[in-house]
């Protein structure tokens, strides 16, 4: 595809498009072939947005495929000061944006000075870019060298930088985006442009122009969106200036295009998979279709692959510790109540009935491959013991009603919990139907509420739920985004303690200061972020996990499931084994740019 453009004079030759020191990617199986279209399916237009993260992973540094180390990526190399306060990154001379403009330290400084520090665009600096309550300082050393400087030691920074948050740093081409920023363009002009687009403020226009759906925006991704929603199908094409090559010097990616068909729900997606209309996909391939996938392998000309999911639990029950109902909040904050809810769940039965016996009944903790794992964490209060559960509820004074059907709250009302979930990643409706049965057997009236992902996220962010269900990912590198080990304020996963998290994130300016073991969690995490000592970090992480196992703030069910993926037989260089997780931006950690379609 690109050779034709070079021959027609539409592109310079490849040697002029590559940086002086391109990143060499080792293929999984063999040197690939150019050409072809990668067919995928998305649930709704927004789902195509994984093109900006999971299908093309362009942080300064990145995780190795096994997720055990951080390696160079956009930056060709880096150094860390002895005190772990200063991180120096060396960029690739001659690297370019997808429109051919140079990618330099000025683009990093633009992100720092004009995006991160702009109050309209970022009212609050992300917590991962602060230490000691002070934001990072970024300095330009020369055109291809930048320094990140923190007020206190930050031993965890490289891991944080390799995670999803780090993607932001390399997404702002100064030469293009400055025309929409008031530092470089008259505010009157920007407001007029905003109104022409149906907006009021300049930063709304900024968001429109920065969006992945804007085909005029230059990127450094392997594939660039050329036909964006609302047009369907969505088409992405090879970036002619991509900075990676194979060992023979062939510019990546091999595949010419990615084509996203867009469907309304997960069932339609899986039917397309079975019909052989998908080339390679792990996203939204659901467990209930596993027998169907296997039965149709020959007909669909595909193989079923199983990657290691970094999910400690598929359907995690996230309790709202800051419930807006004061009576229910006090009950949920009572440790014995949480233990009773956990002991009431028959995880062995759930695994057999819902997960085809392919998972592991366990508590909410990291996967065994994680260096912080202890077997006792996975077994904590995970046995099925409804008799003990009832005894615990009796101990805390939750009496039965006169019909001995449900228990009563201290205010005389029926003790009731609503479990909310968005059916997007697992067989959660079936799993929660069982939980309803288990909890009602010990006198806790349980309602189930299935809702759209946007509504679920909205209610989770507002702290409106009693119990929210989400997949417990991030369980191989849990310190990077400790959503399940510290109280959170978010939509997906939903808030588990938004007042406590707001207190932590704002250094006490907002929210509510926690006490006891929850306060200790935050103190331990700050120490784990700071230290450069690997053994000390492991000790601190295990103490965080131990407190979670003792308190059961979140309740596990079944975990350690493989990640099912469908891969056409001629779609090659896809590894048989990989860690699959959001924090590793899977499949981005497997270098999709070296995938290829075998045509001979």
Which of 173, 208, 231 lies at the terminal end of a domain, its last residue? 173
Residues whose CB falls within 8 Å of the CB of residue 235, separated by 6 or more in sequence, listed in order: 225, 226, 227, 257, 258, 259, 260
3-state helix, strand, coil in the chain (%, to 5): 35, 20, 45
pLDDT confidence tier of residue 266, bands split at 50, 70 and 90: confident
Claim to verify: residue 369 and residue 454 sit in the same structural domain:
yes
How many CB atoms neighbour CB 141 within 10 A?
12
Write out the E strands in 454-580.
467-472, 554-555, 558-559, 562-568, 571-572, 579-580
* Within a domain: 14: yes
Provide, rounded to the nearest whole percent, the portion of the chain with pLDDT above 90: 92
pLDDT for residue 187: 97
Claim to verify: residue 462 and residue 318 sit in the same structural domain:
yes
* Within a domain: 196: no
Claim to verify: residue 74 and residue 129 sit in the same structural domain:
yes
Which of 157, 173, 189 lies at the terminal end of a domain, its last residue? 173
Angle at 208 between CA 202 and CA 211, to 5 degrees: 135
pLDDT confidence tier of residue 440, bands split at 50, 70 and 90: very high
Claim to verify: residue 112 and residue 230 sit in the same structural domain:
no
pLDDT confidence tier of residue 343, bands split at 50, 70 and 90: very high
**Residue 527 lies in domain:** 313-559
pLDDT confidence tier of residue 239, bands split at 50, 70 and 90: very high
How many CB atoms neighbour CB 324 within 10 A?
12
Domains contained in the chain, number: 3
pLDDT confidence tier of residue 5, bands split at 50, 70 and 90: confident
pLDDT for residue 426: 81
CA distance 290 to 335: 38
Claim to verify: residue 288 and residue 334 sit in the same structural domain:
no
CA distance 150 to 163: 18
Q: Please state the rounded mean pLDDT for residues 513-541.
A: 97
pLDDT for residue 550: 98
* Within a domain: 178: no
pLDDT for residue 286: 79
Site of tokens 């904590």: 380
Token pair in block for residue 450: 């299935």
Claim to verify: residue 318 and residue 459 sit in the same structural domain:
yes
Write the CATH number for 250.
Answer: 3.40.190.10
* Within a domain: 530: yes
Claim to verify: residue 47 and residue 88 sit in the same structural domain:
no
Claim to verify: residue 319 and residue 387 sit in the same structural domain:
yes
Write the CATH number for 130.
Answer: 3.90.76.10
* Within a domain: 190: no
Claim to verify: residue 300 and residue 367 sit in the same structural domain:
no
Give backbone dihedrals phi and psi of 318, rounded to 5 degrees, phi first: -100, 110
- Cβ atoms of 493 and 318 within 8 Å: the answer is yes
* Within a domain: 423: yes
**How far, rounded to the nearest angstrom, does the alpha carbon of residue 90 sit from its chain's CA centroid?**
27
Provide, rounded to the nearest whole percent, the portion of the chain with pLDDT above 70: 100
pLDDT for residue 579: 93
Q: Please state the rounded mean pLDDT for residues 279-290.
A: 89
pLDDT for residue 425: 80
Write the CATH number for 446.
Answer: 3.10.105.10
pLDDT confidence tier of residue 488, bands split at 50, 70 and 90: very high
Q: Which helix (H) or strand (E) holds 581?
A: none
pLDDT for residue 276: 92
Write out the E strands in 436-547.
445-450, 467-472
Residue 129 pLDDT more than 90?
Answer: yes
* Within a domain: 301: yes
Residue-averaged pLDDT of the chain? 96
Residue 287 pLDDT more than 80?
Answer: no
- Cβ atoms of 547 and 365 within 8 Å: the answer is no
pTM above the 0.95 mark? no
Dihedral sign, Cα of residue 378, residue 287, residue 476, residue 212: negative
Q: Which helix (H) or strand (E) holds 216?
A: none
pLDDT for residue 142: 98
Encode pLDDT of 141-170 as tens digits.
999 999 999 999 999 999 999 999 999 999
Claim to verify: residue 296 and residue 353 sit in the same structural domain:
no
pLDDT for residue 328: 98
Encode pLDDT of 364-402 as tens digits.
999 999 999 999 999 999 999 999 999 999 999 999 999
Site of tokens 């000061």: 81
Residue 198 pLDDT more than 90?
Answer: yes
pLDDT for residue 65: 84
Give, as one character, the DSSP assignment of residue 111: I
pLDDT confidence tier of residue 600, bands split at 50, 70 and 90: confident
Encode pLDDT of 80-121 as tens digits.
999 999 999 999 999 999 999 999 999 999 999 999 999 999
How many CB atoms neighbour CB 368 within 10 A?
14
Q: Which residues, in sequence order, are bridge partners of residue 319?
A: 467
Claim to verify: residue 377 and residue 492 sit in the same structural domain:
yes
CA distance 13 to 235: 24
For residue 492, which of 455, 446, 521 has the smallest C-alpha distance?
Answer: 455
Give backbone dihedrals phi and psi of 240, rounded to 5 degrees, phi first: -70, -10
Higher pLDDT, residue 376 or 274: 376
Residue 288 pLDDT more than 90?
Answer: no
Token pair in block for residue 326: 């004061």
Claim to verify: residue 154 and residue 45 sit in the same structural domain:
no
Token pair in block for residue 548: 């979670």
pLDDT for residue 595: 98
Pairing of strands 579-580, 302-309: parallel
* Within a domain: 281: yes
Which of 173, 208, 238 lies at the terminal end of a domain, its last residue? 173
Taking each helix axis as running N to C, give the angle between helix 534-551 and helix 516-530, from 0 to 180 degrees, rounded to the nearest 10: 160
SS3 302: strand
pLDDT for residue 66: 87
């Amino acid at each position: 595809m690109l050779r034709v453009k070079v021959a027609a004079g539409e592109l310079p030759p490849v040697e002029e498009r590559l940086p002086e020191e391109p990143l060499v990617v080792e293929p999984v199986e063999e040197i690939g072939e150019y050409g072809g279209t990668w067919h995928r399916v998305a649930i709704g237009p927004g789902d195509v947005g994984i093109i900006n993260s999971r299908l093309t992973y362009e942080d300064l540094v990145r995780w190795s495929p096994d997720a055990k180390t951080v390696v160079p990526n956009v930056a060709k190399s880096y150094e860390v000061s002895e005190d772990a306060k200063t991180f120096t990154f060396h960029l690739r001379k001659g690297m370019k944006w997808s429109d051919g403009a140079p990618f330099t330290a000025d683009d990093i400084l633009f992100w720092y000075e004009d995006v991160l520090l702009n109050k309209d665009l970022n009212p609050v600096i992300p917590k991962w870019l602060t230490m000691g309550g002070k934001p990072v300082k970024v300095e330009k050393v020369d055109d291809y060298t930048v320094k990140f400087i923190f007020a206190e030691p930050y031993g965890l920074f490289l891991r944080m930088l390799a995670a999803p948050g780090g993607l932001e740093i390399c997404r702002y081409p100064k030469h293009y985006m400055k025309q929409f920023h008031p530092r470089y363009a008259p505010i009157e002009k920007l407001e007029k442009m905003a109104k022409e687009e149906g907006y009021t403020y300049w930063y709304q226009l900024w968001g429109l122009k920065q969006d992945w759906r804007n085909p005029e925006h230059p990127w450094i991704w392997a594939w660039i969106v050329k036909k964006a929603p609302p047009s369907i199908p969505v088409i992405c094409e090879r970036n002619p200036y991509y900075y990676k090559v194979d060992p023979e010097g062939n510019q990546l990616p091999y595949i010419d295009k990615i084509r996203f068909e867009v469907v309304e729900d997960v069932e339609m997606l899986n039917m397309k998979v079975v019909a052989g209309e998908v080339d390679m996909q792990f996203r939204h391939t659901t467990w209930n279709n596993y027998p169907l996938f296997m039965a149709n392998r020959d007909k669909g000309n595909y193989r079923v692959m199983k990657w290691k999911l970094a999910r400690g639990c598929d359907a995690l029950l996230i309790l709202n510790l800051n419930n807006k109902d004061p009576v229910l909040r006090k009950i949920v904050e009572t440790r014995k109540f949480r233990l009773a809810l956990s002991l009431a769940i028959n995880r062995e039965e759930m695994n057999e009935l819902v997960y085809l016996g392919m998972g592991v009944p366990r508590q909410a903790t990291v996967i065994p491959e994680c260096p912080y794992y202890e077997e006792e964490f996975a077994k904590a209060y995970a046995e099925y013991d409804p008799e003990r559960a009832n005894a615990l509820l009796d101990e805390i004074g939750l009496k039965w009603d006169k019909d001995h059907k449900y228990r009563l709250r201290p205010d005389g009302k029926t003790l009731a919990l609503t479990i909310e979930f968005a059916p997007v990643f697992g067989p959660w409706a079936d799993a929660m139907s069982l939980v309803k049965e288990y909890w009602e057997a010990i006198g806790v009236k349980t309602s189930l509420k299935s809702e759209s992902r946007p509504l679920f996220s909205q209610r989770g962010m507002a702290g409106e739920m009693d119990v929210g269900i989400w997949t417990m990912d991030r369980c191989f590198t849990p310190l990077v985004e400790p959503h399940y080990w510290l109280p959170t304020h978010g939509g997906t996963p939903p808030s588990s303690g938004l007042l406590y998290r707001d207190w932590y994130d704002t250094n006490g300016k907002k929210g509510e200061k926690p006490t006891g073991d929850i306060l200790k969690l935050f103190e331990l995490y700050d120490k784990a972020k700071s230290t450069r000592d690997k053994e000390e970090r492991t000790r601190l992480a295990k103490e965080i996990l131990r407190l979670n196992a003792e308190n059961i703030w979140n309740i596990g069910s079944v975990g350690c499931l493989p990640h099912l993926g469908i891969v056409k037989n001629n779609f090659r260089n896809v590894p048989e084994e990989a860690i699959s997780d959001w924090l590793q931006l899977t499949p981005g950690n497997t270098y999709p740019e070296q995938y290829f379609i075998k045509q001979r």
